[in-house]
């Protein structure tokens, strides 16, 4: 299966095969990150993203096919992200996949990007549902019960900013550059998390939703109260921000673990999967380790290049879809919003994140 991913700021193509024992094998996977293009703006600029996907996708597909040493005849199908995401980018990948499928006569699958993330542990370690997934990236912050392939219950989502976005905005405010997550983590390592007392958003709330806009405001107030900011001040703000953000995630994850157990009582082996770019944050991982130890879950984090956006997860989701349903018609539309759980309540302020 050829997979194509263009929903945000990575242009990616990959060939994934299913081995006779049912497990997946990444035959080739190429990812072109647009980080440098967006860095001057401190965030992803949709028009720049779409134009760059358009400029590079054909070459990347060719590269993925040639690295896999595979011809179009060998493929079982062509899968592309059909949403959710930045619509110009999604359209680029989806139209390319449709054109390739039409020209080669291969089945075409439009894939939900979130399903790609959700099914990655099946590709990387053969993990089968049910399991609980925390997806924390620049665009998404969600807790999902992966009940089965194709069956997802969204337990919580952000009602405003995504966690990666909160890291990026904190970095921007403190002049730490873009993407901000790694810079904030590095600065926090030298900081005193006790000097500032930031709120832990949503703590104790009965649902499993997230909110980071209040924390962002608290960071802004702290930063503007000290001028000029010395390196030690920046480090202390980062440390306090990271601690509050991790505490907020831990509180939400603990609630979701209770909900997951109510839904899937009596499971022998309970797993929390953490994915998305922010899962690279070591303080967050330690925090999740503690949550898992307390609730007797095991923590599984895919390798970082499969936590962040890539096309192998889309190809693998294509393979998983292909055994369960018919291919999509070419009339399938790109969707800026596409909740994985169709029954979940819409979150109007969460952008593409819901």
* Site for ligand KG4, rule CB under 6 A: 8-9, 137-139, 164, 167-168, 179-182, 185, 276-278, 280-281, 308-309
User: At closest approach, how far in Å is the CB of 136 from Zn ion?
Assistant: 10
At 28 the three-state DSSP class reads: strand
Task: Considering only the stretches 185-193, 221-229, 242-250, 308-316, report the one whose residues sit in contact with Zn ion under the rule CB under 5 A.
Answer: 308-316
User: At closest approach, how far in Å is the CB of 107 from ligand KG4?
Assistant: 28
Q: Please tell me the distance from the alpha carbon of residue 290 to that of residue 305, in angstroms, as a whole number.
A: 24
C-alpha separations of 9 from 4, 39, 41, 202, 213 in Å? 13, 11, 13, 29, 23
Task: Considering only the stretches 68-76, 131-139, 265-273, 338-346, report the one whose residues sit in contact with Zn ion under the rule CB under 5 A.
Answer: 131-139
At 14 the three-state DSSP class reads: strand
Q: Closer to ligand KG4 by CB, 33 or 104: give it.
A: 33
- Partner from Zn ion, ligand KG4, none binding residue 164, C-beta < 5-8 Å depending on class: ligand KG4
Single out the residue of 149, 134, 82, 121 nearest to residue 276, CA to CA.
134
Q: Closer to ligand KG4 by CB, 129 or 164: give it.
A: 164
Q: Closer to Zn ion by CB, 26 or 240: give it.
A: 26
Cβ neighbors of 335 (< 8 A, separation 6 or more) are 82, 83, 84, 90
When asked if residue 309 is in the footprint of Zn ion (CB under 5 A), the reply is: yes
User: At closest approach, how far in Å is the CB of 173 from ligand KG4?
Assistant: 13
Task: Considering only the stretches 46-54, 164-172, 225-233, 309-317, report the one whose residues sit in contact with Zn ion under the rule CB under 5 A.
Answer: 309-317
Contact 110, 101 (CB under 8 A): no
Q: Closer to ligand KG4 by CB, 29 or 281: give it.
A: 281
Contact 283, 246 (CB under 8 A): yes
Q: Please tell me the distance from the alpha carbon of residue 71 to that of residue 240, in angstroms, as a whole number.
A: 53
Q: Please tell me the distance from the alpha carbon of residue 4 to that of residue 60, in angstroms, as a whole number.
A: 9
Q: Please tell me the distance from the alpha carbon of residue 285 to that of residue 177, in angstroms, as a whole number.
A: 23
When asked if residue 233 is in the footprint of Zn ion (CB under 5 A), the reply is: no
- Partner from Zn ion, ligand KG4, none binding residue 112, C-beta < 5-8 Å depending on class: none
Q: Closer to ligand KG4 by CB, 31 or 61: give it.
A: 31
- List the Cα angle 327/329/332 in 5-degree steps: 115
C-beta nearest to Zn ion: residue? 309
User: At closest approach, how far in Å is the CB of 290 from ligand KG4?
Assistant: 17
State the residues that interact with Zn ion by CB under 5 A. 137, 309
């Amino acid at each position: 299966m050829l997979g194509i991913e263009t929903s945000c700021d990575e242009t990616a193509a990959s060939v994934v095969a299913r081995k006779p024992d049912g497990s997946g094998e990444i035959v080739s996977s190429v990812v072109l990150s647009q980080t440098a293009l967006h860095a001057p703006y401190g965030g992803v600029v949709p028009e720049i993203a779409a134009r760059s996907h358009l400029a590079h996708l054909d070459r990347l597909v060719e590269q993925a096919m040639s690295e896999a040493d595979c011809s179009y005849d060998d493929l079982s199908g062509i899968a592309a992200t059909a949403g959710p995401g930045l619509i110009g980018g999604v359209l680029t990948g989806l139209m390319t996949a449709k054109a390739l499928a039409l020209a080669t006569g291969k089945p075409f699958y439009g894939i939900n990007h979130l399903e790609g993330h959700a099914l990655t542990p099946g590709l990387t370690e053969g993990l089968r549902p049910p399991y609980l997934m925390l997806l924390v990236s620049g665009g998404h912050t969600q807790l999902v019960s992966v009940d089965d392939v194709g069956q997802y219950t969204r337990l919580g989502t952000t009602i405003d900013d995504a966690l990666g976005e909160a890291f990026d905005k904190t970095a921007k405010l403190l002049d730490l550059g873009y993407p901000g997550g790694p810079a904030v983590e590095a600065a926090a390592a030298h900081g005193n998390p006790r000097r500032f007392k930031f709120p832990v958003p949503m703590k104790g709330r009965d649902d499993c939703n997230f909110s980071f806009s209040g924390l962002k405001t608290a960071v802004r107030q702290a930063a503007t109260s000290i001028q000029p900011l010395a390196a030690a001040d920046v480090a202390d703000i980062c440390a306090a921000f990271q601690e509050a953000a991790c505490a907020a995630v831990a509180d939400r994850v603990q609630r979701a673990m209770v909900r997951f157990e109510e839904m899937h009582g009596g499971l022998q082996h309970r797993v929390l999967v953490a994915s998305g770019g922010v899962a690279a944050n070591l303080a967050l991982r330690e925090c999740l380790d503690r949550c898992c130890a307390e609730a007797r879950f095991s923590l599984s984090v895919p390798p970082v290049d499969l936590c962040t956006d890539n096309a192998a997860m889309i190809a693998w989701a294509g393979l998983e879809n292909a055994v369960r349903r018919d291919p999509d018609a070419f009339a399938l539309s790109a969707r800026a919003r596409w909740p994985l759980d169709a029954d979940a309540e819409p979150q109007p302020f969460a952008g593409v994140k819901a």
